Structure 1
Amino acid sequence: MRRGCVSVEGSVHRTEHVVRIRATRVGSRRPKVRFDPTPHGLVGPLLELAEVGPDDVVYDLGCGDGRIVIAAARDYGARGVGIDIDPILIDQARRAACDAGVADRVEFLQQDLYEADVRPASVVVLFLLPEANLLLRPRLLSELEPGARIVSYIHDMREWRPERTRHFVDRKGWHHRMFLWVVPPRSTPVSDLLDPSRYREGRA
């Protein structure tokens, strides 16, 4: 058995921000998350949009079965951390990392994604509904180092202008959107980041 490939009961992590948030609320503010994996064919494009490389630490908030973090380590030489609150998915992700031979480069943590310490991340991957992205936005801006990249599948962060977007249609005719943001210097005024005209009344 490879080192680090012992299943730990109660460990939780989804190595691919493959979680989507429903409208259901936990407590007074937090949207409840359910497992909805990112399609395998879109994992590479997400990581390429973030220009992931060997020096990166990739965090997947709501990682599910760990496919994004595992791909970052296996295909790009990065290190990765997956965060998920479901211990079954965390165990599944850990076993998948062992099978992929990257257990020494990835870590899966059973945690609330809204409370996870993201400061070590140079790349954060999201597959959440809009409410979750908006709830996480202030923390990502304040806790990530300038230059860190954030990529999101399907949903943007409303008024926060993305650096780049990617839109394509797969062979089945499904439309896919991906967004990239780069955390700015601490001294950047919030007004320089937000564009209220992106979301006027009546627009999504």
Structure 2
Amino acid sequence: MATTQNQRLGIFLALALVMAATRVHLSLFHHDVWDASWAIFFLAGFWLRGSFRWAFPLLIVEAVVVDYIVISNQGISFWDHYCVSAAYWFLVPSYLSLWLGGSWLARQQPGLNLRGLGTAAVAVLGGWVACYVISNGSFYWLSNSVPQPRSVGAWVANMGDWYLFFLEATVLYIALGLVVHALAVQLSRTLGHAGQSKLPH
């Protein structure tokens, strides 16, 4: 959605900052906050669709570096942490599904109407479902932290235990991002009309 390189860099830096600030689960007021990472990848796909080759890998690297720093500061070896296993690398396709959802939404050019809201809902839920199934499924089936024996029924139950938390956090942050986008588009149009009205006739 961003048209100039400076705009892309500015948006990328803003998204990277939000992800870093929330991924460590600390806010400026020392309260836990929801991790915005899932929403960040969706919004990056929406705003930076044409910059996938550099923006997506950099966001992945940032996520891993933040995780490494946070885990190391707890005095734990990175690979000994509960959340880190062979399944950890499935975060790449998980986050990619969110990016693709945002990119698809950008191609639809949704308007500020019921149809646009419906299109946005399809994109968000589609990307989120794919991300959740991949990330949760890979952790359940590949992580040593999950006790044996494993079964499809237990996996489905596990997804049911966690889906609402991840859905709420993701949808909230994406909704905030899309509201900011809508306001920016409206402001740009208003300024554009104001500039045209000042041109000599």
Structure 2 length-normalised TM? 0.29
Structure 1 length-normalised TM? 0.28
Report which of the two has the higher share of strand: 1
Report which of the two has the higher share of helix: 2
